[in-house]
Amino acid sequence: MTPIWVTMLVAVLSVFGALGAQWLNTMRAFRLAEIERRAKREERHQQNREDTYAKFLVAARALRPALRSGTGEAALAALRDAAAYIELNAPELADRALAAVLDSGERWAELVLTSPPTAPVIKEADEEFHQAVRAMRDLMRNDLASE
């Protein structure tokens, strides 16, 4: 026969072992849930940036036809709205490149109103705007590739 104290020791160790295993499993599940939440948050952030950048590029591409048809102010407003989302989602891009796009777009729109359509200054403003958009697009691509 085994002494009673050995039986009691085995029983106590079994209870603590079961509780310890349960605690370890709970902690492991908590860490896994945290990792999953972080991955989903990063995925949503990435998707939000992609959507924001796409809306901006669509608004930038719509400016040329709008200026030709006389609805440039509405297109500029759409471009400014899209730029505001970039300022919120990617402030590091909003400093110089975004300001260059907006400034060149507004300058181009002003020149369209004050100059004949075939004036060289219009073509220069058009090219300046598209160069600024290309630079911004390259920065957006690099931003999306880095995440």
The structure tokens listed for 93 are: 């891009």
Mean pLDDT of 129-137: 95
Question: What is the Cα–Cα distance from 62 to 54, expressed in whole angstroms?
Answer: 12
Helix axes 4-61, 72-89, angle to 10 degrees: 160
Q: How far apart are CA 5 and CA 12, in angstroms?
A: 10
**Residue 127 per-residue DSSP state:** H
Per-residue pLDDT, 95 = 80
Residue the block writes with tokens 């104290």: 5
- pTM confidence score: 0.76
Q: What is the CA radius of gyration of the chain?
A: 30
Tens digit of pLDDT for each residue in 68-83? 888 888 999 999 999 9
10 pLDDT exceeds 70? yes
